[in-house]
Structure 1
Amino acid sequence: MIKMLHEKGMRSEHAYTAAFMSIGLSVATWALSLNAEPGAGIARADRWGIFVGEWAPTFFGLGLALSHYEQQDGTLTASVHDLREQREKQAM
């Protein structure tokens, strides 16, 4: 699965970015739920915040797996130009 994600263009930094965004989204979701539904109480806002907050560890895990794959593949520090050249050589 990690190899497929890598081949489709997903990189570790994409997963890390998604993880940090989900942390921010978790706080925003909690605040919006708290303000949008004042009658529902803090418990409902907490559930929404926790639900979105659970995405972050998944994205961090994917980021670590992709980073490990990139280190083995040699693409962790390669530039986009280097990657294109490598793919062209493999296609020949």
Structure 2
Amino acid sequence: MLSKVLFVAGLVSIIASILAWSLASGETAEELAHAERWGIFVGLWAPTFLILSEKLK
């Protein structure tokens, strides 16, 4: 059961990363850079969740 939750969390992380990056609104370069970094940060969760999902099967 936990492996399925982690797998879904990995998929949600990928989607959230794309949304955070593409839907970010900002007028300055700093605001856009922050959105880009946040998207990358959230996207880095996906491999962790997916690996844990596989290990806990």
Q: Equivalent of 1:38, from 24, 27, 36? A: 27
For normalisation by structure 2, the TM-score amounts to 0.81
Relative contact order, higher structure (CA 8 A, sep 6+):
2
Q: Which residue of 2 aligns with 1:79?
A: none
Name stretches of at least 5 consecutive residues in structure 2 with no aligned partner: none
Q: Root-mean-square deviation (CA), in Å?
A: 1.5
Q: Which runs of 5+ in 1 are unaligned?
A: 1-9, 68-92
Distance 2:34 2:23 in 1: 11
Q: State the partner residue of 1:26.
A: 17
CA separation in 1, counterparts of 2:13 and 2:27?
23
Number of equivalences: 56
Whichever of the two has the greater Rg, that structure is: 1
Q: Percent identity?
A: 43
